[in-house]
Amino acid sequence: YNQRKQENVVHLGIHELGDRDGRIDPLLWEGKPVPPRQWIVEGLIPRGEVTMLTGNGGEGKSLITMQLLVATAINSRWLGKAVPRIKSLGVYCEDDPEELQRRSDGILRHHGRSFADLDGMMLVSRKGMDSTMYEAMFNDMVGRPSAFYERVRKTAIGWGAELIVLDSLYNFFGGNENARPQANQFVNMLASI
């Protein structure tokens, strides 16, 4: 039976996984140095990876992410951990510009710094606007990036952002949260930035 099944697969033109499919031969790693993992926040936020901060509403997630953005702009510590000085982009859907300014001001005063020190930080206030980045019908297996996603992507790349904060998830994901294919596509889409 297995031989017959294998013959049918070959007959249909289906081939084994290859290099273009991501196949890896671990024997080729022999004698090569293991590349160190790169971090934005060691042990918490790896570079180049989609990372999610979760919690109940009103518990301070937006404030914590603003503290991270400021910390990377002024090269200070965040939650007791060192962070590099990198460019960042924060897209906030629940806070107006005045609230973002108030939060930034409090964080800067805590560090003895000023707004002039935030040359590596870009903020976007989307309160009251449609900020959908991924669109899919409820039962669709495949969705698509929106025009707003493309604008954020172009801005992040043009700015040279190494950290992008999107606050909060439900404003950006226009799919069925219970559909794994859609959620996976959305995360992969974000990772492509």
Which H/E stretch holds residue 110?
helix 97-111
Q: What pLDDT is stored for residue 175 in this prediction?
A: 92
Portion of the chain with pLDDT greater than 70, in percent: 94
Q: What pLDDT is stored for residue 138 in this prediction?
A: 73
Q: What is the pLDDT of residues 37-46, one digit of tens each?
A: 999 999 999 9
Question: Average of pLDDT values for 118-139?
Answer: 94
**22-to-16, 17, 148, 192 alpha-carbon distances in Å:** 12, 8, 30, 16
With H, G, I as helix, E, B as strand and everything else as coil, classify residue 78. Answer: strand
Q: What is the pLDDT of residues 148-165, one digit of tens each?
A: 999 999 999 999 999 999
Distance spanning both ends of the chain, measured CA to CA: 46
Cβ neighbours of residue 93 closer than 8 Å, sequence gap 6 or more:
126, 127, 129, 131, 167, 168, 171, 172
State the Cα–Cα distance between residues 150 and 156, nearest whole angstrom. 10
Say how many C-beta atoms besides its own lie within 10 A of residue 162's C-beta. Answer: 18
Give the pLDDT band of residue 139 (cuts 50, 70, 90): confident
94, 74, 92, 75: which is closest to 84 by C-alpha?
75
Amino acid at 108: L
For residue 142, pLDDT over 60 is answered with: yes
Give the pLDDT band of residue 140 (cuts 50, 70, 90): confident
Give a three-class secondary structure readout of 79-106: CCEECCCCCEEEEECCCCHHHHHHHHHH
Q: What is the pLDDT of residues 7-38, one digit of tens each?
A: 555 556 788 898 889 999 999 999 999 999 99
Question: Average of pLDDT values for 74-103?
Answer: 97
Q: What pLDDT is stored for residue 137 in this prediction?
A: 82
DSSP 8-state secondary structure symbol assigned to residue 32: S
Give the pLDDT band of residue 5 (cuts 50, 70, 90): low
Give the pLDDT band of residue 4 (cuts 50, 70, 90): low
